[in-house]
Structure 1
């Protein structure tokens, strides 16, 4: 059940803060922005600015994040402080005002100065939604390619964009300790389950979607920019609700966490959608708070013409064929763009 009391406090504090007490970067925040183990500190500090969270991290624990091995001590201290239990699991509802505050106050400097996000071929952007924004998703890391595209579309078009997110971002034990329990939901993430997906489409939302599913980020460095098999659910729902698909090609996302391979055995043991093994793993063991960090890169998004009036009928084979035709079209675009960059 939703913790109604905490939700009321959250909305009241957000209303007050958005008007006269918006989140301002301090010297400590700027250090965290340019020091990889500090990104998790930024996320939690911003949340606590707008939301009373007695189970959240505190100042001592934040400082420990920044010290090699200090995260483990911070985790122990927090666990003892909470009476040897996990943080409370609360169900949060999407709040566009908090999404806007997070976008403007936290995402903006990261997208502009770190990932250098750019929209290309903006003449293909429609005036408004609803729609399914289908993008090649990669990087084997926190979904920065999705967050960056959501930010750019919102800033450019004024859209309220919600990403379809793997279930582990909502309920995996690591996420419960890393981030506030309501964080993904309040920011607008929709669970990547067919019922939730269809409900969001039926409500006419603008959704960010990865047609490859978890196969995209899980394919590893050796298969970078090689699109994997597309799921067909987005084709079926586009046809059923007459919602157009806006394909987007992302160049640069494969470099968010380079030189990685996916350890499928370990991935299954710890119940993660993928587990990137790379030279950076040693650093991650010293600084687990870097789980939300990614390598500095340039993320370019090439908007493709809308795919409209997709008629699939009742034949699953025909639907699958249409999904793969779209996949081949995007793969050709990716290959052409990479050739232009290298030439």
Structure 2
């Protein structure tokens, strides 16, 4: 990583408060620290800011690169760049826009490792994850690695939107079992959504309904003796309000979900807003550490496999019910 710290100028503050400019901030910050000859340039940035201009910028960049995709790098996680991005870009967004807050901080351990399991919603760029990663890093100076859907790394839109390897360099872990296990085995602070894509895909009508948990995090927690830190997020439901998921159309474009809402016209005019979300107040309620109290080693070998799977699944759903109960309680308090 090269260069001195990134400092907001007037153009950067303008981009922060003008939604199509968020993508500019991400790319400008990357270019400040990394040589990126295939990246966006100033003419293209200006086009981002006018209706329909992104399409012209995309064409200009494609022609500039010789009618090819941006070069794919072989990225590795860089904790120093994660810290720079957290302190220089995420900090003002979290403070002034999403107004992120950690609640019940007495339940937050001093040290890791841990699997931070959070309810996921919003049907948008994973801002509930990024804000929590920022808050945990800012509060405990932790290096946090979020587990992210494969599309965030390699979908064609992401290849053009964001720099090559951006997600990996920031610490993103692909949502594939082998990479998930490797991250847990390395004793990191891993940010995980047990609902998987069912969380952001559930849409507005089910926004407060935590979906079925995948049990993999329970089994890995038990195998590597790493505690689970449950977190309930309140406010992520409003990141893309009144959105419905067009699953079948989304599959045509290779997207994990395709939201349709009153914002769709704006997104069509400004595709760079794909990394933006509505202003919300994201509050994170830290729950007591969860440790598996049932020893799977006591199960008879001949029936171990099926019983362990059933036991793990039941534990995952029991934890989901606890978080759902806490979320319901918080909603009732806010309504009263």
TM over 0.5: yes
Q: Deviations over 1:262-290 (max 9, x none)?
A: 00111110111111111101100000000
1:120 and 1:301 in contact (8 A); partners too: yes
* Of 147, 156, 160, the match for 2:130: 147
Q: Would the aligned equivalents of 1:246 and 1:303 in 2 still touch at CA under 8 Å? A: yes
The residue that corresponds to 1:325 in the other structure is 318
Structure 1 residue 274 corresponds to structure 2 residue 257: yes
Structure 2 counterpart SS, 1:339: helix
TM-score by length of 1: 0.94
Distance 1:329 1:248 in 2: 11
Alignment equivalent of 2:172, drawn from 189, 194, 200:
189
Partner of 1:203: 186
- 1:109 maps to what in 2? 92
Please give the per-residue CA displacement for 1:185-214, whole angstroms capped at 9, x wherever unaligned. 000000000000000111101100000000
Task: Give 1:336's aligned residue.
Answer: 329
Residues 140 and 276, structure 1, Cα contact 8 Å, conserved in 2: yes
Residue of 163, 169, 173 corresponding to 2:156: 173
Please name the residue that 1:75 is paired with. Answer: 58
Q: CA RMSD in A?
A: 0.8
Contact 1:235 1:310 in 2 (8 A): no
Q: Secondary structure at the match of 1:322?
A: helix
Query: Is 1:133 matched up with 2:126?
Result: no
Structure 1, unpaired ranges of 5+: 1-10
Equivalent residue of 1:216, what SS? Answer: helix
In structure 2, distance between residues paired with 1:216 and 1:180: 26
Kept in 2: contact 1:263–1:276 (CA 8 A): yes
Aligned pairs, number: 326
What are the within-5 Å matches in structure 2 for residues 52-67 of structure 1? Answer: 52-67=35-50
Which 4+ residue blocks in structure 1 deviate beyond 6 angstroms?
A: none
Shift of 1:310: 4.4
CA drift at 1:309: 3.4
After the TM superposition, which residues 299-314 of structure 1 pair with which residues of structure 2 at under 5 Å, given as runs? 299-311=282-294, 313=296, 314=304
**Corresponding position of 2:79:** 96
Match of 2:216? 233
Q: CA-to-partner distance for each residue in 1:9-46, whole Å, 9 max, x for gaps?
A: xx3x1xxx2xxx21011111011000000000000000
CA distance in 2, matches of 1:224, 1:238: 28
Which residues of 2 match residues 242-253 of structure 1 at below 5 A?
242-253=225-236
- Counterpart check, 1:85 vs 2:85: no
- Output one character per residue of 1:198-239: Cα deviation in whole Å (capped at 9) or x when no partner: 001111011000000000000000001101100000001001
Other-structure match for 2:267 = 284
